[in-house]
Amino acid sequence: MASWIDPDFPRTATPSDLVGRVLGLNPGMMTGPGTNTYLIGRRDPILIDTGIGVDGYLPLLERYLGERGWARPARVLLTHRHVDHLGGVAHLRERFPGLPVAKMLHRDTNLPDGIEDVREGQTIEGDEVTLEPIHTPGHASDHLCYYLREEKALFTGDVVLSGSTTVIPSGDGDLGDYLSSLRRLQRLDLERIYPAHGPVIEDAQGRLAEYIEHRLMRERQILDALDAGVDTIPAMVKRIYVDVSEKLHPVAAQSVESHLKKLAREGRATEEIVRDAPSRWRLA
Ligand SMILES: [Zn+2]
């Protein structure tokens, strides 16, 4: 996993004529090199995501805006409510008064004030660019990807990452929804992916197929574990995630739980709740 947190990942980049990228400067185990924020359009760029709100981000963004001859972002679109995507909103609004900020308003608690709603079915016009929001729950119930028509490209937020798989958090995450979201994205006329973490993905369809196959492989491993009588989440994590750092086992446990919940919903596994101990799972 060390390469996922790439210290040499460029802080700013211009991956295409219509897309600029400024790094959120929040590297870590969950964020890789940090959260990517994207500036889209020929002028008056639309900013997708804002990073977590570290002090160095705004000067970096302003330097990049200056290099492109831009004064400010026209507006902000958020992919979802996680703090490494919207934590920078306050700093941006302070620096650029009146800056509109929008996300899909859905089961939110603790959002900054004055965030506007945006949903699938709308289109957002920028300068020579058109973005279409696509509701893609699974990692987060409010998650939007944004399809850039002019490039057949998709800003995937945390639905597809570069260099890691997506976490399905217990609570707001849902593996069944996640797989449905990936399958919907497969039906887009899609060439390139701009993920919220890591470099541009040129083989969009290949990556979507890999992501689905990865989950199906994990599901098979979990069914095998259940079949072998391995019946608790901690025991399954130990058995399945042998090649993953133990530091990530708590995250892996959330992933196993999301698989088991999906299997239970499909009538393929049952949960026996045990007092003061992990639940016992069985094949149905
Ligand atoms: Zn997220």
Q: How far is the CA of 282 from the centre of ligand 1 (A)?
A: 31
Within a 10 A sphere around the Cβ of 278, how many other Cβ atoms? 14
Please report how many Cα atoms fall inside a 13 Å half-sphere around the Cα of residue 37, on the Cβ side.
Answer: 34
Residue 193 pairs with which residues in a beta bridge?
154, 201
Q: How far is the CA of 69 from the centre of ligand 1 (A)?
A: 31
pLDDT above 80 (res 3): no
Q: How far is the CA of 253 from the centre of ligand 1 (A)?
A: 17
Q: How far is the CA of 178 from the centre of ligand 1 (A)?
A: 13
Helix (H, G, I), strand (E, B) or coil at 32: strand
Q: How far is the CA of 183 from the centre of ligand 1 (A)?
A: 19
* Identity of the amino acid at 74: A
* Identity of the amino acid at 107: R
- Residues 229-270: pLDDT tens digits? 999 999 999 999 999 889 989 999 999 999 999 999 999 999
Q: How far is the CA of 72 from the centre of ligand 1 (A)?
A: 25
- Residues 144-171: pLDDT tens digits? 999 999 999 999 999 999 988 899 988 8
- Residues 25-53: pLDDT tens digits? 999 988 999 999 999 999 999 999 999 99
Q: How far is the CA of 60 from the centre of ligand 1 (A)?
A: 22
Q: How far is the CA of 31 from the centre of ligand 1 (A)?
A: 9
Q: How far is the CA of 82 from the centre of ligand 1 (A)?
A: 5
Q: How far is the CA of 158 from the centre of ligand 1 (A)?
A: 5
Q: How far is the CA of 30 from the centre of ligand 1 (A)?
A: 9
Cα Rg of the chain (Å, integer):
20
Supply the pLDDT for residue 1.
41
pLDDT above 60 (res 2): no
Taking the C-alpha atoms of residue 51 and residue 43, their distance in angstroms, rounded to an integer, is: 21
Q: How far is the CA of 140 from the centre of ligand 1 (A)?
A: 7
Supply the pLDDT for residue 171.
86
Question: Residues lining ligand 1 (ion), CB within 5 A?
Answer: 82, 158
DSSP assignment string, 126-174: -SS-EEEEEE--SSSTT-EEEEEGGGTEEEEETSS-SSSPPP--TTT--
Q: How far is the CA of 67 from the centre of ligand 1 (A)?
A: 29
Average pLDDT, the chain: 96
Classify residue 128 as left (phi > 0), alpha (psi -120 to 50) or beta.
Answer: left
Cα angle at 270 between 266 and 276, to 5 degrees?
Answer: 140
Burial 76-101 (b: 16+ CB within 10 A, else e): bbbbbbbebbbbbbebbbeebeebeb
Supply the pLDDT for residue 157.
98
- Residues 106-134: pLDDT tens digits? 999 989 999 999 999 999 999 999 999 99
Q: How far is the CA of 229 from the centre of ligand 1 (A)?
A: 33
Share above pLDDT 90 across residues of the chain, in percent, rounded to a whole number: 92
Supply the pLDDT for residue 4.
84
Q: How far is the CA of 59 from the centre of ligand 1 (A)?
A: 24
Q: How far is the CA of 276 from the centre of ligand 1 (A)?
A: 30
What pTM was estimated for this model as a whole? 0.95
Q: How far is the CA of 179 from the centre of ligand 1 (A)?
A: 16
Taking the C-alpha atoms of residue 233 and residue 230, their distance in angstroms, rounded to an integer, is: 9
DSSP assignment string, 160-212: S-SSSPPP--TTT--HHHHHHHHHHHHTS---EEEESSSS-BS-HHHHHHHHH
Q: How far is the CA of 165 from the centre of ligand 1 (A)?
A: 12
